[in-house]
Amino acid sequence: MKKVVGFLAVILFFSCIAKDDKTIQLVTQEEMELILKEDQVQLVDVRTLKEFNAGSILNAKNIDFLSDDFEVQIKELDKSKPVIVFCQKGGRSAKCAKKMKDLGFTKIYDLEGGYSKWKPIK
């Protein structure tokens, strides 16, 4: 029963996204976890290397939004695949999402509250 309810929640979530047709979507941790399970998503931590090394979300790629080569690194991602971005609290990731939209990325998810709100599943 839990699988059916979870599956229906995912379908409802993605159908709402399709109707809204926004390039950038602010998502909660719970929504992000569903997206990571169901989609072939690129996960990007836009914090500094020091912040990243202190702890990050499993399988996240670090591309420092404040680095000189940020745009070069971000362009190496697949623009046609969804991307989840996050920073410490949400400011840098919001700016990053806007920049990625301008560069032609088609679907960008921004983790609401950033890494500071992330609670790993136990």
Q: What is the pLDDT of residues 6-37, one digit of tens each?
A: 554 444 455 444 445 589 999 999 999 999 98
Q: What is the pLDDT of residues 60-116, one digit of tens each?
A: 999 999 999 999 999 999 999 999 999 999 999 999 999 999 999 999 999 999 999
Is residue 5 domain-resident? Answer: no
Is residue 2 domain-resident? Answer: no
Whole-model pTM?
Answer: 0.80
pLDDT for the residue numbered 122: 56
CA dist., res. 99 & res. 71, Å (int): 9
Beta bridge partners of 82: none
Is residue 13 domain-resident? Answer: no
Is residue 11 domain-resident? Answer: no
Is residue 36 domain-resident? Answer: yes
Is residue 3 domain-resident? Answer: no
Is residue 10 domain-resident? Answer: no
Beta bridge partners of 89: none
Is 100 within 8 Å of 108 (Cβ atoms)? yes
Can you give the residue range of the structural domain that contains 103? 22-117
Convert 12-62 into a string of H (helix), E (strand) and C (coil): HHHHHHHHHCCCEEEECHHHHHHHHHHCCCEEEECCCHHHHHCCCCCCCEE
Which of the pair, 55 or 2, is modelled with greater confidence?
A: 55
Q: In the chain, how many domains are there?
A: 1
**45, HSE (Cβ side, Cα atoms, 13 Å):** 20
* Domain CATH for 69: 3.40.250.10
Is 100 within 8 Å of 21 (Cβ atoms)? no
Is residue 15 domain-resident? Answer: no
